[in-house]
Structure 1
Amino acid sequence: MSVRKGAPALLSTGTLCAALLLTGCAATAPLAPAPVGPAVTAPPAGDARPHPAPPGRPAGAPATTPAPAPRLPGIGPATQDLVPAGTTQALVVSGSAADSSTSTATLYERGPDRHWIPTAGPWPAHNALNGWTADHSAGDLRTPIGVFRIGDAGGRLPDPGALLPYDQNEEFAISGTGFGGEPLEGSFDHVIAIDYNRVPGRTPLDKERPLGEEKGGGVWIHVDHGGPTQACVALEREELRALLRALDPAKDPVVVMGPAPELAH
């Protein structure tokens, strides 16, 4: 049985290009009229007396520049620049080192003052057996580093109250054991698809890989089975259910994930 709630319209990005056409002119342009109002002149060399400031700025006032937008805690400017401007909800999954298979997940929301406020977590999490990579390939047993949208969910069990589109399907069943011999059964009772090498707006079970099969895919947030994953992020069952109820597609949610030193760039 498959039940899928209405998927949102696909996000798209576009590039706005403008061309400026310069044309020659044989006639000589007329002289510009003299400005109206008092002229502002530079003080003579060596004159230390105070002189009027340019119009519109008080004497002695420094030039001002807009304050930079607040960043997610622990996130550096290069990583923050990857977060879409319209995003107001972000799950930060941070590992202690590049080869660590354990991490911490915290959900943040951006308030009216643009500051990011923690709204859930921190939660313990597992990631891939060999840690993290900025160039993920199928079978490398590493979790991709980056900023990815999260907009589709599903699982073997019924929808726990997700705002994201949720596909309940028996195909989410899994068996076998993990790297430490722990049972994998129930790991896909609830999952959230991470938009790495997948087509957004489809069930997490969708197999299309836009970057090619060699770049891996099927990277999810799923129920923790008590050990490292192949490439996914895993949370405890009740914490994942809470995350499913919290994520709001209207807030353009993303996951920001990687080792802490890398995310701090």
Structure 2
Amino acid sequence: MIQRRTAVALLASPLLLTGCGGGAEATERRTPARRPAPAPTPGTPTEPAPRGIPGLGPERLAEIPERCGQAVVVTGRGPNSPLCTAVLHQRTATGWQAGPAWPAHNALRGWSAHHMIGDLRSPLGVYTLSDAGGLLPDPGSRLPYHHSGGFHSPGTGFEGELLEGSFDYVVAIDYNRKPGTSPLDWTRPLGPKRGGGVWLHVDHGGPTHGCVSVAKAHMKELLRTLDPARHPAVVMGHADWLAR
């Protein structure tokens, strides 16, 4: 069953996003989800695909819905570390097939099982992935894509790195948000104190405020691969928690 845990939204003003996540209302152009192409029939692997997902224990595996055919697994180095690795796993007839491992960042202070706004931790959990968007035009997303100037990301990060371009492409993580809306939407079912605006987005070279960031090329690959017909989800947390 999908958990609804919290993440940080960094809100500078109703029309300006800074840092990671946010929920600014902005005029946007919404591109409907593309008609999903049939999933390719995988070739016969040289070795059988694992039935489970390496690094995930029975508790975490049980939280992935049966209908989920794509799982982005984000593995943190430790409970207080901002460094992690992201891998897209796709379910096949023989089990889960892993893609390449991508270096990534999570929140400055690591992870939280009960995220609160301002704690600078990413939320542990399994969350659906329903909506995408960005400052740049749709690169071929299968998820509904929300193109908007509201994805502007000015300023600098925790290590002095420029944040500009971080929200060129984003995928909303369905933590404390209403699926089926723009990633910029302010709706917070758990209340504003529990944060929101937790996204997969373009890496800016340093820790985030709650999101998970990967290189721009990997974000484009995710947008072109994540298929709503396969009910994608993200499984995110530090390695010890994921192994339970």
TM-score normalised by L of structure 2: 0.81
Q: Does 1:5 align with 2:28?
A: no
Structure 1 residue 2: deviation in Å? 2.2
Q: Which 5+ residue runs of structure 1 have no aligned equivalent?
A: 9-68
- Contact 1:3/1:168 (8 A) holds in 2: yes
Deviations 1:96-136 (A, max 9, x none): 110110100000011113x1101x32000000000011111
CA separation in 2, counterparts of 1:211 and 1:159? 30
Mapped partners of 1:78, 1:71: distance in 2: 12
2:109 and 2:120 in contact (8 A); partners too = yes
Say which one has the larger Rg: 1
Post-superposition CA distance 1:123-169 (Å, at most 9, x none): 00000000011111100000000100011000000011110000000
Structure 1 match to 2:77: 96
- Between the aligned partners of 2:119 and 2:193, the Cα distance in structure 1 is 10
Match of 1:186 among 160, 165, 170: 165
- Residue 128 of structure 2 aligns with an amino acid whose one-letter code is R
- Name the count of aligned residue pairs: 203
Contact kept? 1:132, 1:143, Cα under 8 Å = yes
Q: 1:236, CA displacement in angstroms?
A: 0.6
Q: Distance in 2 between the 1:222 and 1:145 partners?
A: 17
Superposed displacement of residue 174, structure 1: 1.4
Map of 1:241 onto structure 2 = 220
Residue 249 of structure 1 deviates from its aligned partner by 0.6
Contact 2:33 2:142 in 1 (8 A): no
Task: Name the counterpart of 1:230.
Answer: 209
State percent identity of aligned pairs: 53
The answer to whether the 8 Å contact 1:7/1:201 transfers is no
- In structure 2, the residue matched to 1:23 is none
CA offset digits 1:164-222 (Å, max 9, x no partner): 00000001011010001111111111100000000001000000100000100000011
Query: 2:114 and 2:51 mapped to 1: Cα distance?
Result: 28
Separation in 2, partners of 1:161, 1:121 = 21
Q: Measure, in 2, the Cα distance between the counterparts of 1:71 and 1:262.
A: 16
Moved over 4 A (4+): none
- The aligned counterpart of 2:10 is none
- Root-mean-square deviation (CA, aligned residues, Å) is 1.3
- Superposed CA deviations along residues 43-96 of structure 1, whole A, max 9, x for unmatched, are xxxxxxxxxxxxxxxxxxxxxxxxxx9321110001111101101110000011
Alignment of 1:97-136 (within 5 A): 97-113=78-94, 115-118=95-98, 120-136=99-115
Letter paired with 1:241: K
The 1-side partners of 2:218 and 2:51 are apart by: 27
Please give the secondary structure, in 2, of the residue aligned with 1:150. strand
Q: Per residue, is there more strand in 1 or in 2?
A: 2
Structure 1 length as normaliser, TM-score?
0.75
Alpha-carbon distance, 1:7 to partner: 5.6
Correspondence for 2:178: 199
1:74 is matched with 55
Instruction: Name the structure 1 match of 2:143.
Output: 164
Residues 49-64 of structure 1: matches in 2 within 5 Å?
A: none
Aligned partners of 1:121, 1:152: CA distance in 2, in Å? 23
The 5 Å alignment of 1:18-29 reads: none
